[in-house]
Amino acid sequence: MTATAPATAAVAPPAPTGPHLTFRGRDIPVVLPKRGDPRLKLSAVIMTLHVLGQTLLDFKVSIAQIIVSIVVCAVVEAVVTYRSQRILVWPASGILTGSSVAFILRASGTAHGDWWSLRGIQFFVLAGVISLLSKHLIRPGGRHLFNPSNVGIVWCLLVIGPNHVFAQYLWWGPNRVGVALAYAVILLGAVWILRSVRMVPMAASFLVTFAVLIGVFALSGRSFIAIWHEGPISGLSYWLNIAASPEVLVFVFFMISDPQTAPKAPEGRVIYGAATAALAAGLIFFQPTEFAIKVAILSSLTVVCALVPFIEGASRRLRKDREAPSDISTVEVIPLPRRLVAGARRPAVIAALIIAVAAPVDTALLAGNKQVILIERGQVGARNAQ
């Protein structure tokens, strides 16, 4: 006869195998950064550009604005992750979101050299919080749909408006050494990062499509006005200041290349890049101001991110047709209208649709916004503010 353990005997939980903290008798797993994480590479590139912006390129953003943006986003990301998963994670995404917001967004009235200015800091905080809320709340299918920092910045630019906020200029200033160094950092960073996340074809599809369309606009006589330039910008200068702007390259290489929001399949990524470029160009065509052109570029990503599930579906069908054209699938195919009706009943889908429609509509309306035109012409006090 063998002895058995009492029914009330407690089974000891397995000991944690990785880094952890013990708080009030509870073991809390800790996830530390990994050397190969592409987000660390991207953060290094963006921080290098921040340094160039503060030292050589006269960026109108303060060190305090950068630090607050990063800290707020990092704390929000860490807290939300802990509450949902009960783990402490190095907030790499939050840090990157805050850094990206501070890299693109500007508060009117902040002068270069105002290192510790907190002017308009509420706008940076708002953009960061909206970015992270979109990431954690708008998740149809369990995956966040929008590029986080993109949504927050677009919202601030469209809702708060050009009297208070604007995006970093397309033209990065007269310091040729600083601009050359910035291009070098951007291009080398692109090679370093895009290859590891397999986004080179996506970037190429965007750049080719965008360069061709903006070239057509330049040849057709399109022009725009900017607060940093006297008179309209047209011809070759129109093409160079838009298609070859370092700001656009940062957008292509380091924002739309986010593997979490881009399609997974190679074919889908090529479609995604070209579609973003085509939509950006379409929104740009009617815009007479730099402010509206920058919003158009950023809004294009907001819209195309909402279309990623459809792009992925199309790329899967293309791949299946190419690999097995004679196969007849026995799986029931649900018509698109039925899928849309079913999805429209979900709050996350409704929110995504509102954002995807509002962004391009509000951007298109900027073409007739006389206040933006006056600001870019320097005919209101906002010229000195920006």
> Is 238 within the bounds of a domain?
yes
> Is 295 within the bounds of a domain?
yes
DSSP for 103-134, written as a single string? HHEEETTPPTT-TT--TTHHHHHHHHHHHHHH
Number of domains in the chain: 1
Average pLDDT for 326-341:
48
Place of tokens 């408006």: 161
Q: Give the per-residue pLDDT at 346.
A: 67
Average pLDDT for 84-89:
87
> Is 314 within the bounds of a domain?
yes
Q: Token pair for residue 163?
A: 């009297």
Reply yes or no on whether the pLDDT at 335 is more than 60.
Answer: no
Average pLDDT for 225-252:
97
- How far apart CA 211 and CA 148 sit, in angstroms, is 26
Q: CA triplet 87, 122, 293: central angle to 5 degrees?
A: 100
Reply yes or no on whether the pLDDT at 25 is more than 70.
Answer: no
Q: Give the per-residue pLDDT at 380.
A: 63
Specify the pairing of strand 20-23 against strand 26-31: antiparallel
Q: How many residues does the chain have?
A: 386
Neighbours of 188 (CB within 10 A): 12
Tell me: the pLDDT tens digits for 274-283? 999 999 999 9
Reply yes or no on whether the pLDDT at 129 is more than 90.
Answer: yes
> Is 255 within the bounds of a domain?
yes
Average pLDDT for 208-232:
97
- How far apart CA 104 and CA 58 sit, in angstroms, is 14
- How far apart CA 112 and CA 174 sit, in angstroms, is 14
Domain boundaries, position 117: 30-320+345-385
Tell me: the pLDDT tens digits for 26-54? 778 888 878 888 899 999 999 999 999 99
Range of weakest confidence among 241-250, 292-301, 325-334, 357-366: 325-334
pTM of the full structure: 0.87
Q: Token pair for residue 228?
A: 């940093």
> Is 56 within the bounds of a domain?
yes
> Is 366 within the bounds of a domain?
yes
> Is 76 within the bounds of a domain?
yes
End-to-end distance of the chain based on CA atoms, in angstroms?
Answer: 88
Average pLDDT for 167-195:
96
Provide the 3-class DSSP secondary structure of residue 90. coil
Helix (H) or strand (E) holding 166: strand 165-167
Place of tokens 């953003």: 61
> Is 217 within the bounds of a domain?
yes
